[in-house]
Amino acid sequence: MKRLVLVRHGESVWNKENRFTGWTDVPLSEQGIQEAKKAGQTLKKEGFQFRLAYTSYLTRAIKTLWLMLEEMDLMWIEERKSWRLNEKHYGNLQGLNKAETAKKFGEEKVLMWRRSFDVPPEPLADDDERNPRFDPRYADLSPDELPKTESLKEVIERMLPYWESEIKPSLEKQGDLLVAAHGNSLRALVMHLKGMSKEEILKFNIPTGIPYVFEFDDEMNFVKDYFLGDPEEVKKLMEKVANQAKAK
């Protein structure tokens, strides 16, 4: 048996403020720090051992990974980072409050920007200081690789090649892997692994800081998936994510 553990980063300060974050690099909130530590404690209690972990280029995911590994006494293991695990780029929405934006433009419009499969938000301008081309961590990427906005479809298109070329082969070789990333980059992977339809994935929400386990047999056939947590609590947290863009 091979196990892939997906963890959406702990609550960030912009999660707490209900803002669209995307590629904006913001830290974990105090609650997010505690969520990450608890995730590490849960994984240790369940007997998980990792020799390799993956994360994005964004601080909130990296810090979540570090805190989990610290709780597991595994800070020595190899980490691999990729921009392909970054959150969906929310374009001009980045930094805006979701509920206030819904009040201004309507819940239906904001729901489309958040959850449409192939309709991205309005893109950033070339000279916008939020454009990733000004960020040194992306200096080695070509202009056509750097998004100014993204839909889930485009996240899938950048994420799946990394799954096929890097994460999947490592899982086959290592046995158990840990991935700390983001709501939409993980949803892209979940859609692929479970063969979900566009309609199904658009309704699927991943709460922060809860380990999400995928089990595979030795031939890498998907067997089952489950969250490590109280089912009722996980359900409430998933509903909380779904309701973030309701007008107040």
Which residues carry out catalysis?
Answer: 9, 87
- Rounded-to-integer distance, Cα 157 and Cα 29, Å: 30
Three-class secondary structure of residue 22 per DSSP: coil
Centre a 10 Å sphere on the Cβ of residue 121 and count the other Cβ atoms it contains.
25
The pair of three-digit structure tokens given for residue 228, joined into one six-digit string: 């490590």
The stretches of the chain forming alpha helices (DSSP H) are: 13-16, 30-45, 59-71, 98-105, 107-115, 152-162, 168-174, 183-194, 198-202, 231-242
> Which residues, other chains included, contact 123 with Cβ-Cβ below 8 Å and sequence gap of 6+?
91, 92, 148, 149
DSSP of 89-116, one letter per residue? P-GGGTT-BHHHHHHHH-HHHHHHHHH-
Q: State the Cα angle at 96 between 91 and 98, rounded to 5°.
A: 105
Of the candidates 74, 69, 79, 64, the residue with the CA atom closest to the CA atom of residue 183: 64
